Amino acid sequence: MSSVKPAGPDATRFKDQLDPAAEAIVVADSVSSAPVRPVTSSLRYRPVGDFQSSLPELSAVNFDPWRQTVLLVLGDERVEIQEGEWSSKRRIHVGHTGPIRDAKLAPGGGFLGVLRSAKMLEILEIDESEHSTSVQELVRDSHSSSAILGFEWTFPGELMVVSSSGFELYQYSGTSKNFVKKKSREARINWYSYWPEVRILVTSVGPLALRLYHMKLDSGADSLMTVNLKPKGNTSGVQSQATRKQITVFFVYGRAFLGYFDLTPDPPLLVLYRISRSTPSHSVSYPLDGRGTFIANTVDNLIVVTNVVTKLFLIFDMKNDGTEAVVSTARIPVQDENDIDAVIEWQPCFPDYILVGSRGMLYCIQVDLQALAHDMRENSSGLAVVTFLARRDMDDPTFVLQIVAEMMREGASVDQMRKAFDPLNSRVRQIGPSDTPQGMIRDSSTDSVNSLGSIGTSENNLNGSAAGSPTARRKHQAHAGSASTLQRALARSHEEFNATRRQLCTQELLFANVFEPLSKEATFPSVYLTSCLFEYIASLSVAARQTVQPCFHELVCDLLLRDNRHTELHQLVQYNVVEDSAAVARRLLARGDVYAPFKQLGLDMLKRLDANNEVADVLLNRGEFLDALRYAVSRSVTTVPPTSFLEAALQSGDRTLFLNTYKCLEDRGMMTAAHADQAVAGLPPGSAAGRYVSVFREMWGEVVEMDSMIDM
Amino acid sequence: MPKPLSDSQQPPTSSRASSARSSQSAGQSPPPDASRPSDSPPEPPPQTRLDVGGRALVTAITATPAAANTENDVERGPSQAAVGTFGDVDCDFSEGLNNARTGPGWTNRRKHFFILSCAGKPIYSRSVAFLVYPAWGHHMVLALNRQYADALYDLRIICRYGDEAKLSSLMGLIQAIISFFASDDDSVRSLTAGGHTFVFSVKGPLYLVAVSSTGESVAQLRQQLSYLHSQILFILTSTQLTRIFDTRVNYDLRNLLSGTEMFLDQLARSFQSTPGFFLGSVQCLRMPARVRQKVAQALSVGNPQGLAFGMLLAKDQLIGLIRPKRHSLHPADLHLVANMIASSSGFRSGEAWTPVCLPMFNNKAFLHAYVCYVGPDLCVVLCSTDKDSFFGMSEYKAEIVKGLEEGGCVDGIDEALHGVPYSIVEVGVPSLRHFIVKSTPLVQYTQPAPAPPYTRKDDWRRLLQIYQRASEALHARIDPVSTYFYTGPAEAVLACTVGTLELYAAFGPLVSKTVAMDAINALARWARRCEDLLFLGSVPVLGSKQRSITPERLTGPTSP
Amino acid sequence: MGDGSGSWKHRPASLAYFAIFNPSFSKSEDSANDQICLFYPSTVPADERARQVGLATALVNFTKTFSPAPCDAVHTRKHRVILHEVEPGYWMLLKVRLGTRTTVRAGHKVVEHLEDGLQDSILRSVLLRAWEAFKLFHRGIDCILRRHSMDVLRKILEEFYSGFLPRINFGSLDLLDAFDGIQFASLSKASYLQVLSLMRALTATFPMLKHPILFWHDHLVWNGLESFDALKPLHSYITDPETGRVYDGVVNQVKRKGEPIIATRRVSLQSVRQSRSFLKSPRRGAKFSGYLVGPVTIGSLDVELKKIYLGPEGIEHNLIVYQVEEECTLVVPVPASEPPDQHSAEFYARLSAFLDERLTTLAPLLADGYASAKNLGEFADQHFRYLYYNSMNLAFKTSIGSYKSTVLTPDLVQCLNRMHDEFARGEYGTAANEICVKTASTDAWVVGRRSGDRELYLVFPKSDVGLVDIDDEVKKFTLGYFSDIL
């Protein structure tokens, strides 16, 4: 939260030529599904908002985590607030009582905290107007040593004041119309940093010692682990203590990590500790490139480290094993020299914002997965890329599927394909913003009604305002993630993590983009393709426990038939790997002449599907008239007209069969034994059935005495 | 010895009988009585003998305008044949005969019977061929008729006159096969070759072989062979048979049988059409007990000396019977008698007197049968132990006729005759298509007139075959069954024993077992209800002058 | 039968002789023995052989005058003979002595000849199996003769059949022999997918193993051959509990002496299967893993390839059989067209390593599948005595004898045999779709059904219920377990 010098006239220029760029990118965004597209860089900085940086009296620019906007401190008595989505801004007079060290707006937006001096924090109540009324002043001058380091709005109507001697938690009480101290912790604090998204307070309690706290609703503060940083390199002089800028907190894959830029070794390291209540557990240290100053963001569960000196960035994925950077040392995609110069003063804002005060811009970092994937393909396997992408968060996964298809074209081993399919099937993401409020309420265990209400409203505005671009949606995830208490975030096992999510790329997509096109290619080895298909089906039904779409069964069927692998198909149907469907059944029956068992197999399948008409037809066509009739009777099939049986029997030329058919139908009241000229019951009048009655009489009516010519 | 014949006043009418006898007298000089000392029979040249047999037959036919047209065709066959294809017949029974003529769709099922002497000499051979076209319509049947005659005539050529050499070579082969197994202290029972079944049966000096592609089981064919054997005994008695072959091993028995093949022919034919044979029981005319009683009375007055059995037959159905006190008439014997009458229409005019042997009664000696039609279908058959009792029998017959008229039985019998075959509707079980009810103790059975589809010969035969299988299962030597349910492509058959009754019922192929069971129970009830209407419950015995009917069984339930 | 009344001696049916001959080889009467390629037992004197073969020829000729099809079965008072022309001109002749029961009635003894399990249909399938087995290892008679001399042929036949024929127990033939069906492993879709990917991995890593066949005990898990018919002879050889008992020149004698390579297959319907043996080792001590066909000791360079011939064309393959933990057995016929140098010691080492790893992980899966299926079907298996065969995939399933409660008395087994014979005869004469009978002696219901290519038999012993109730039972069963059979 460092204040910056007013940048002067060039700021406007800066804006002017960044805006079109923004346009361009936005446009590109909308067409990102297009298969081929000149890839510039895997990172993009999307301006989410701009503000006047050229105001003469601009003394400080603060990021407002609750609205993802900025709060400008103008001179000593005015504060400019940007509403959510940068819709509008208003200036508020806070009264002139000395310089403003810091100013923060409360989540609900009802209060404004202004740090006047190291001893005094004033809280003002504000409304739509420009004016503010002081609610109270918190003065800390008990002992001269203690100074207020800063303050943070933790929850709607809750406040934390951090001083060199500890921190205190205040809560607004509706009755006394002011903030009441609820709790205080004594501790020697050199400096602190607070991460509102995860509500983690990091306090420096020694040169290399950090203590972490987790803030909870209703002035709760769980003390978490204490970390003793151990720089790798030689610890001498300035290096021997960690500055605030060296410490970051990440929230990736539902877990919170403490990041520490260890500049002592060469190359410097980004050391990550898994945040827990007990002893710190060191998870991984990523080597960084060159010397310089590093800032870190998290985008889509990726850790983006930017070296603001060398203007290079790296991307790490904690799910990747090894400390290999996903994207190693790429240049920041900013062309203009001034922008490059500005990089040095970039402020990282949790999770993925970059604030450039002098340019009056707030950027949001975006990962261009397609470009990223393209880069990755250079030096890492298709499987790696796919698994990496599967963890990502994308709206249009088709290009992932293109990579899958590529893998198959390159003939990746079947096991590899299986490994690639599994994440594609199981990777799912959260359902969207609707469930976040409940999340909040669930977390707000016991609370005063109004604060509850305020939470609700605040969230709802937020939803209402934010329910737009994907980025906005991501905000909510961040919120949801942060909203849930840390234990939960930590405890959340990976399964749960997936459970509340939906599949990244559906079976239909995979079929349409990978299997079907490949199966159409005459040159593509179908044996291999089938193996892959089986792996996919296995992955679906074993790993993801999903029902396989019929189109896959049909494809398997077709491929096996194409290669005349009849026994295999036979066994697959037998063990229900290829599931029943009329389409498959027909394919089988069609092959019955080549591989006899299919006649039976297909027919049984139809029976299981209760496709009674088809069964009857098949039997009739096979000349198994009696079986057809028996089946029709046993299943009490009414849809097949009796005439079809009669006709078939008549055509067979077998008089006995005709009689049996006729009698059977007659017994079931589908014929009438009345005179031949009468129409037949159970049949549409005027149908040909009457004919059969007369045929029957002609055939069997009079006794045909054949004795004479049978014997000698 | 032709005395009775000479002074019996109807030579032309009983031409068949006389011819038969003449053939016998020609064949075997000693009279049938086992007592007489035997001298070896003279052997006239085969030519003449064949002529005798042949002419005898032809005259028999021509004497009767109302002869079955099968006989016509069959007999016309050779007469034309004399002109046509006489030489070019080979011994291939499998094809060649008329496969050329049998297009697709024809089911060409054949059955051959061979009887040969242990020396391998052909005695009797016959091919029953069934050519049936499944399609319907009369024209087809008629077309078949003509063609069929030719087929049969070929067979006749082979079996009767044609290609003696080939035939006897075949017989030689059979004889060789049989004796081969015998030499291994074993005996061949049957062969199968694809759809053909070969059954061998060794009866004393006679070897009988059945070759069939009709699907009948081995046991059934064996049974039929034993019927054929009894038929030969019926003509010759076992004593005579053994004596002849003791004296002259390779005697050509056809000498003695010529002119009587029609018995065997008729028998072989009826295997295919009536269940009586495999049921081992007879069908008796369905008529009220009152009339039966009258008939019994009529029979039991004035039994002449030497009368062994007296029976009243209509068609092949038994109306009345009288028998000696401690002898019963075996169904098999009755079948033979009925078969004899059915064999030739010669009996229809006037009285006939011919020696017969009822093997089950006594296969050693002849009885003498007096046969005379006393009504359009009504026939009196009297068997006497005395070869000279022709007139005694004739008088007794007159007595019977009188008795019947007095008792007013004639109308009753006519009525009953018109009532047969009765319709299945009478039973009142709609799901039934056909049935047979057999009374095990009475060894009698009854069945309704065949209704569709069993009005067609092919269907009827198939049904009989299933019945045969069922009855086999019911009477199997090992593990007999008490209920047998069969479902086939064309019908379902349920057979079971209920008390003293054996029930066989045919249904549609899709019948549910519930329906079938209900039907068979209803059938059983119906059968018990009209038991005395259906079956001839008790028969009078000889010598019991008093009118009362002794409630003795017709015969014991022994099966042939 | 078998009612213990009176003292009686029982002698089971036995093989009288078995012959292969080709009538066209004997030019004249005195050279009758030239036509005989094999006559077993060899103790039969030459002239007797000639007699018997001559008879068979005579019978064939005799029957040919009547029927297009030649004589295929002979019933005599004491014997059954089955004849079959296995190759053009070559006839196979199987003569079986009927079993006898000698009872002493009224002083003198009565000898009764029994035809237990000697129905033509069953004997014929036994004969055909004997033929298939020979073809599996020697391709065919004529091709041997063309390549070698008659003496060589005689030697080969003699060697093979003197080993094979004693395996057959003619005393207890039943529907198991008639069908010689395949038991399919029961697996869930999920675990089957794993089998699938294992098979893929196998063929991927060892490209020349194109047609792997995997057994779990005697249950077929995966068939990589083009058809089940091609598998049949191989299957019945591998799963035959006799295989491996004695050295037959094919399987290595690596197991304990007299130990079959797969012990679990049922040989008779009347024997109780001990299902425990499926889930734990049949005998204590280390379970066997290693090559049953292939190198005896891994790394040994001397690998003698065992040839088998598959399919109607009898395509030559080299056989490899590997077993893991006596549970999973992988059978791989490698087309002989593959370069033989592939069969290197290194290859076998790699293969065994691969299989040891992958199959041991798969085995529990299969065992679970079996166990769960067993529990699932337990009710059916205990309450119904059923026997099911599907000629389309040779699938065979029966509950008979799988529990103490479902063992059948000999006479009921015979009843099944007869019923099957009736169905088999169906193609001639009166075909049957269903037959159900109630035996008079034991009051048992026996239901046989044939629909299309399937046969199903159900036995309800000692039931006093009627046909209708039985039908309901059958309905219950078929709907529950074999709904495809109408």
Provide Rg for chain C, Cα atoms: 24
Distances (CA, A) of C385 to A241, A597, B332, C180, C458: 84, 27, 43, 19, 6
| Chain C contact probe: residue of B169, B177, B191, B482 with most C CBs at under 10 A | B191
Helix (H) or strand (E) run with residue C315 in it: strand C315-324
Per-residue confidence (pLDDT) for residue B335, from 0 to 100: 92
Among the partner residues C51, C61, C429, nearest to B215 by beta-carbon distance: C429
Taken in order of first residue, the domains within chain C and their CATH numbers are: 8-173 (3.30.450.70), 209-364 (no CATH), 377-481 (3.30.450)
CA–CA distance, C346 with A397 (Å, rounded to integer): 45
Helix (H) or strand (E) run with residue A251 in it: strand A247-252
Max distance between CA atoms of chain B, in angstroms, equals 67
Lowest mean pLDDT among A667-676, B77-86, C364-373: B77-86
Per-residue confidence (pLDDT) for residue C94, from 0 to 100: 95
What 8-state DSSP symbol labels residue C161?
H
Please, what's the b/e burial string for B478-500 (b: 16 or more CB within 10 A of its CB; e: otherwise)? ebbbbbbbbbbbbbbbbbbbbee
CA–CA distance, A687 with A695 (Å, rounded to integer): 14
**Cα atoms in the Cβ-side hemisphere of radius 13 Å centred on B178:** 25
CA closest to A576 among chain C residues: C189
Q: Are C23 and B134 in contact (CB under 8 A)?
A: no
Per DSSP, which regions of A178-228 are E strands? Answer: 178-186, 192-195, 200-204, 209-216, 220-228
What's B424-534's CATH class?
alpha beta
pLDDT of residue B385 exceeding 50, the answer is yes
Tokens found for residue A123:
């809280």
CA–CA distance, B179 with B171 (Å, rounded to integer): 12
What is the average pLDDT score of chain A? Answer: 74
Among the partner residues A538, A567, A607, nearest to C223 by beta-carbon distance: A567
Helices B390-406 and B289-299: crossing angle in degrees, nearest 10, is 150
CA distance B469 to chain C (A): 9
pLDDT of residue C3 exceeding 60, the answer is no
Mean of pLDDT values over C116-144: 90
Per-residue confidence (pLDDT) for residue B158, from 0 to 100: 41
Helix (H) or strand (E) run with residue C157 in it: helix C150-164
Residue A244: what residue type?
Answer: R
Most confident region among A86-95, A535-544, C468-477 by mean pLDDT: C468-477
Three-state DSSP state, B533: helix
Domain assignment present for residue A693? The answer is no
Among the partner residues A574, A608, A630, nearest to C486 by beta-carbon distance: A630
pLDDT tens, position by position, B13-22: 333 333 333 3
Lowest mean pLDDT among A29-38, A95-104, A565-574, B329-338: A29-38
Domain count, chain A: 1
Chain C residues in contact with A636 by the CB 8 A cut-off are none
CA–CA distance, B419 with A68 (Å, rounded to integer): 110
Helices B218-236 and B238-247: crossing angle in degrees, nearest 10, is 80
Angle at B199 between CA B195 and CA B204, to 5 degrees: 170
Of A173 and A130, the structure prediction assigns the larger pLDDT to A173
CA–CA distance, B325 with B537 (Å, rounded to integer): 16
Of A545 and C371, the structure prediction assigns the larger pLDDT to C371
Per-residue confidence (pLDDT) for residue B163, from 0 to 100: 59
pLDDT of residue B554 exceeding 60, the answer is no
Three-state DSSP state, A60: strand
CA–CA distance, C195 with A578 (Å, rounded to integer): 14
- Interface size between A and C, measured as CB pairs under 8 A: 73
CATH code at B282-418: 3.30.450.30
- Interface size between B and C, measured as CB pairs under 8 A: 149
Q: Are A229 and A262 in contact (CB under 8 A)?
A: yes
Q: Which chains touch C (3 or more CB pairs under 8 A)?
A: A, B
Tokens found for residue A216:
């909870």
Q: Which residue has the tokens 């679990």?
A: C264
CA–CA distance, A352 with A329 (Å, rounded to integer): 18
CA closest to B459 among chain A residues: A656
**Cα atoms in the Cβ-side hemisphere of radius 13 Å centred on B391:** 7
pLDDT of residue C430 exceeding 50, the answer is yes
Per-residue confidence (pLDDT) for residue B63, from 0 to 100: 25
Per-residue confidence (pLDDT) for residue B551, from 0 to 100: 41
CA distance C407 to chain A (A): 29
pLDDT tens, position by position, A448-470: 333 323 333 333 333 333 333 33
| Chain C contact probe: residue of B212, B220, B479, B510 with most C CBs at under 10 A | B479
Among the partner residues C65, C72, C73, nearest to B170 by beta-carbon distance: C65
Helices C189-205 and A526-538: crossing angle in degrees, nearest 10, is 140
Per-residue confidence (pLDDT) for residue B494, from 0 to 100: 96
CA–CA distance, C384 with C382 (Å, rounded to integer): 6
CA distance C175 to chain A (A): 22
Partners of B271 in beta bridges = none
pLDDT of residue A28 exceeding 50, the answer is no
- Using 50, 70 and 90 to split pLDDT, how confident is the model at A360? confident
Domain assignment present for residue A607? The answer is no
Distances (CA, A) of B6 to B11, B306, B454, B551: 8, 22, 48, 42
Helix (H) or strand (E) run with residue B192 in it: strand B188-193
CATH number at residue A242: 2.130.10.10
Which contacts (CB < 8 Å, 24+ apart) does range B398-407 have? B399/B298, B399/B301, B399/B302, B400/B298, B400/B299, B400/B310, B400/B312, B400/B374, B401/B374, B402/B298, B403/B294, B403/B297, B403/B298, B403/B299, B403/B301, B404/B294, B404/B295, B404/B298, B404/B374, B406/B298, B407/B294, B407/B295, B407/B297, B407/B298
CA–CA distance, C124 with C72 (Å, rounded to integer): 9
Chain C residues in contact with B213 by the CB 8 A cut-off are 66-67, 428
Three-state DSSP state, A517: helix
What 8-state DSSP symbol labels residue B158?
I
Mean of pLDDT values over C407-427: 85
CA–CA distance, B290 with B307 (Å, rounded to integer): 25
Distances (CA, A) of A22 to A17, B411, C250: 9, 122, 78
On whether any CB of chain A is under 8 Å from the CB of B87, the answer is: no
Provide Rg for chain A, Cα atoms: 37
Partner-chain contact A541 C193, CB within 8 Å: yes
Partner-chain contact C227 A567, CB within 8 Å: yes
Number of helices (H) and strands (E), helices first, in chain B?
19, 16
Domain ranges within chain B, ordered by starting residue: 41-271, 282-418, 424-534
User: Domain range spanning residue A275?
Assistant: 2-367
Partners of B381 in beta bridges = B311, B371
pLDDT of residue C383 exceeding 70, the answer is yes
CA–CA distance, C52 with B432 (Å, rounded to integer): 52
- Using 50, 70 and 90 to split pLDDT, how confident is the model at A503? low
ipTM above 0.85, yes or no: no
CA closest to B271 among chain A residues: A711
Residue B208: what residue type?
Answer: L
Provide Rg for chain B, Cα atoms: 24
pLDDT of residue A685 exceeding 60, the answer is no
Q: How many C-beta atoms lie closer than 10 Å to residue C142's C-beta?
A: 14
Partners of C318 in beta bridges = C307, C334
Whether B41-271 shares its CATH topology with B282-418 is answered yes
Q: Are C95 and C127 in contact (CB under 8 A)?
A: no
CA–CA distance, A10 with B298 (Å, rounded to integer): 147
Distances (CA, A) of A557 to A530, A560, A590, A594, A605: 9, 5, 12, 15, 14
Domain assignment present for residue A174? The answer is yes
pLDDT tens, position by position, A607-646: 888 888 889 889 888 888 888 888 888 887 777 788 888 8
pLDDT tens, position by position, A187-227: 888 899 888 888 889 998 888 888 889 888 888 888 888 88
Tokens found for residue A68:
């993802």
Which has the closest alpha carbon to A429: A397, A403, A391, A396? A391
CA distance B403 to chain C (A): 47
Q: Are B30 and B14 in contact (CB under 8 A)?
A: no
Domain assignment present for residue A460? The answer is no
Domain covering B41-271, topology = Beta-Lactamase (3.30.450)
Q: What is the DSSP string of B354-366?
A: EEE--HHHHSSS-
- Cα-Cα-Cα-Cα dihedral sign, residues C7, C12, C13, C15: negative
Chain C residues in contact with A595 by the CB 8 A cut-off are 227
